[in-house]
Chain A
C-alpha cells in the first residue's frame, strides 16, 4: 500500500528580499528544526531555510534510538518534527540553498540560490553532513550507474541483483537491512572491523544472502557503460581480487556541509565547525549545531539537543551581547 509523507511548511512568503530577522537557521534537520522550536518559543523572529526538510533522517529507513520512539521510520520522525514546528507557525523556505553569507556588522546578509537577499542579527548553521566519498578511481564514472549514496532512494533499482555495501558503521549495517527486500546477494566490504551497534549486527546473523569482507579496502570501481564490480585488497595478506556486482552503496559516514562559512569561522582539519559550550562559533553571532560541528557522535537526539542549546544561547546573545538596533 502507498504511504504519503506530506511536508507542508508555514507561509514562506515572509522570506522577502530585504526582510530582517533575529535568527535565520540554515538547515532543517533535527538540529535546525529544534532550534526553530526553541527560538520561536522565546519570541524571536526566526525562519528556517533548507534544501530539504528532515536532512539525513531521510537517509535512514528506521530509527530505533530516539527516546520515546521504540521504532519509527526516519521520514515519519521528520514529519513529526515538522508538524510540531508548523504548529508554532515557524516559516520554512525549502528547495533553496544559501549561496553567500557575509557579515554586515553587527548583522549578516544571506544570498539565496533564487536571488533573494535576507538580513539577520544571528545565523545558525545546521547544515549537517553530505555522504562521504571513497575517493577511488571509477567512483565518479559510475555514480548513478551503479554507485549510490542513498539506499532508501535507489534500492528498488537493484531487484534480484548483487550489491555491495561499503562501510562498517551503523549506516552501513542499516543499509544491509534496507537492501534485503531487493537484492539477491549483499556483500559488505569494510577496511577495518565492524563498529556498528551490536543490536544491528545481531539482525545480520539470519541473513543467508549476506557476505562480509572485513579488513578489506576497496581500491577501484570497474565496469563498461555501467558498473560491473569492484577491486579490493585484503589488508592482512596484501592480496587483491575482484568482486563482481551490479551496485555499490557507499555508507562510510558524512563530510560536514561547512563550505558556506569556512572563510568566516574556525573549523577542524575535517572541516567540522568548532563551537564553544554554547554552540557559538569563532565568529560572534554565528552559531552551529548538529553534524556540521566537531561533536563526534552523529546522532539524531544529539543534533536536536544542540539545536535547542544554540537557540537558547542565541536568545541570550541577542539580549546581552548584540550591538545593533
Chain B
C-alpha cells in the first residue's frame, strides 16, 4: 500500500516526536461500515506509531469492544484516544483524521501526553486543577483551518492537567450531520458541556474563565 507520509514528512515527524518522555498508546476505534476515513486514519496512526519506539498503536472495534467503548465514551468512528505510560485515559480524544493542519494538534498531544513540560505558569496550572466539575470540551475543526490546532491543543492540555476535563477534536466534514446539529458553519467552534460556546482560537485564559464560571 502506498504510504500516507512521504519520507520527508516521516523525518519531520520523527524529529518532532524525539523529545517524548514516557510511552504513549494510541487506541483507535473503527467499524466495518459505514466509516468515512477509517482506513486512512488507521494508516496514519500506524505509520506514525512506527516513527517512535515510545508509541504503541492498538485498534478496537466500535461494536465488539464494548468495554473500551464504554470506558472511553466512544460514540463515532474513526475516533481515537491517547493513554499515558500507565495506560490511563486522560481525556484526550480525536474524532476524525487529524490530517492537514490538524496533524499539529495530534503531534503536540503526543508530546504533552508523554509528560513533556508544556511550560504553563504554576499559577495557571493551579487554577486549572481547581475545576471540580465534569467538563466536556468539543472543538469542531476543518483540516484547512490554521487556527484550529491551537484550540484543540488547549482543550487537550486542560484535560491532561485535570481529570475532570475531557477534550475532543471533531473533524467537521467527516461528522457533517453532527456539525449541523451543533450549527457549525465556522471553525474552530468550541462547545463546552453542550451549551457554552467559544468561537475562534481562544487563549487558555479564555477557556479557563468560562470553566470557572459554569
**Measuring CB to CB, which residues of chain A are less than 8 angstroms from any residue of chain B?**
2-8, 12-13, 15, 17, 51-52, 54, 58-59, 75, 93-97, 113-116, 143-148, 150, 152-158, 225-226, 247
Contacts and interface: CB of A to CB of B under 8 A. Distances in A.
A221 to B, nearest CB: 13
Contacts of A95: 150, 153-154, 201, 203
A52 B146 contact: yes
Contacts of A145: 183, 185-186
Contact of B146 (A54, A93, A144): A54
Contact of A13 (B117, B120, B185, B187): B117
Given A59-B146, A114-B120, 9 more contacts: A4-B5, A6-B13, A8-B15, A58-B101, A113-B205, A144-B185, A148-B185, A150-B147, A157-B172
A60 B119 CA distance: 31
Contact of B99 (A4, A93, A155, A157): A4
B99 A114 contact: no
Nearest to B16: A8
Contacts of A153: 142, 144-148, 186-187
A122 B169 CA distance: 38
19 contacts: A2-B40, A2-B97, A13-B119, A51-B201, A58-B147, A93-B119, A114-B121, A114-B124, A114-B203, A145-B185, A147-B186, A152-B146, A153-B142, A154-B187, A155-B144, A156-B144, A157-B185, A158-B185, A225-B183
Given A4-B5, A4-B103, A144-B185, A75 B146 contact: yes
Contacts of A13: 117, 119
Contacts of B203: 51, 95-97, 113-114
A15 B146 contact: no
B144 A152 contact: yes
B20 interface: no
A7 to B, nearest CB: 5
- Majority-rule SS of A interface residues: loop
B145 A17 contact: no
B211 interface: no
A8 B172 CA distance: 25
B189 A144 contact: yes
Contacts of B104: 5-7
Nearest to B184: A157
Contacts of B101: 5, 58, 75
Nearest to A247: B185
Contacts of A152: 144-146
Contacts of B187: 153-154
Q: Please give me the 10 A-B residue pairs with the lowest Cβ-Cβ distance, nearest first.
A: A115-B121, A58-B146, A144-B186, A2-B99, A153-B145, A113-B203, A157-B185, A95-B150, A4-B103, A8-B16
Q: Which of B4, B40, B117, B146 counts the most A-chain CB atoms under 10 A from its CB?
A: B146
A72 to B, nearest CB: 16
A244 B86 CA distance: 56
Contact of B199 (A5, A8, A113, A144): A144
A143 B186 contact: yes
